[in-house]
Structure 1
Amino acid sequence: MASGQSYYEFYRGSSIGTALTDSLDELITQGDIPPQLAMRVLQQFDKSLTECLQKNVKHKTTVKGHLATYRLCDDVWTFVVKDPQFKMEGIGSGGEVVTAPKVKIVACKSGDAPEGKKSGGRSGDYA
Structure 2
Amino acid sequence: MTSYYEIYRGSSIGMSLTDALDDLISTGAITPPLALRVLAQFDKSVTEALPKFVKPKATLKGHLKNYNNYAEVWTLDVRNPTFKMESNEVVSADRVKIVAVPSKHSNEAAEAGKK
- Please confirm whether the aligned pair reaches a TM-score higher than 0.5, indicating the same fold: yes
Q: TM-score, normalised by structure 1?
A: 0.81
State whether structure 2 residue 67 is matched by structure 1 residue 74: no
Task: State the match for 2:21 in structure 1.
Answer: 24
Where in structure 1 are there 5+ consecutive unaligned residues?
Answer: 118-127
Following superposition, the deviation at residue 116 of structure 1 comes to: 7.1
The one of 111, 115, 118 aligned to 2:104: 111
Q: In structure 2, how many angstroms separate the alpha carbons of the residues matched to 1:79 and 1:116?
A: 26
Alignment of 1:36 with 2:33, yes or no, is: yes
**Which residue identity does 1:115 align to in structure 2?**
A
Aligned residue pairs total: 110
Q: Would you tell me which structure has more helix in proportion to its own residues?
A: 2
Q: 2:30 & 2:95 partners in 1: Cα distance?
A: 39
Matched residue SS, 2:30: coil
Structure 2 gaps, min length 5 = none
Tell me how far 1:115 sits from its aligned partner.
3.1
Q: Give the share of equivalent positions with the same residue, in percent.
A: 57
Structure 1 partner of 2:82:
85
| Distance across 2 between alignment mates of 1:37 and 1:116 | 35
What RMSD in Å do the two structures reach over aligned CA positions?
1.5
After TM superposition, the score normalised by the length of structure 2 is 0.89
Superimposed CA distance per residue, residues 81-115 of structure 1 (whole angstroms, 9 cap, x where no aligned partner): 111100111x3xxx110111121111011122133
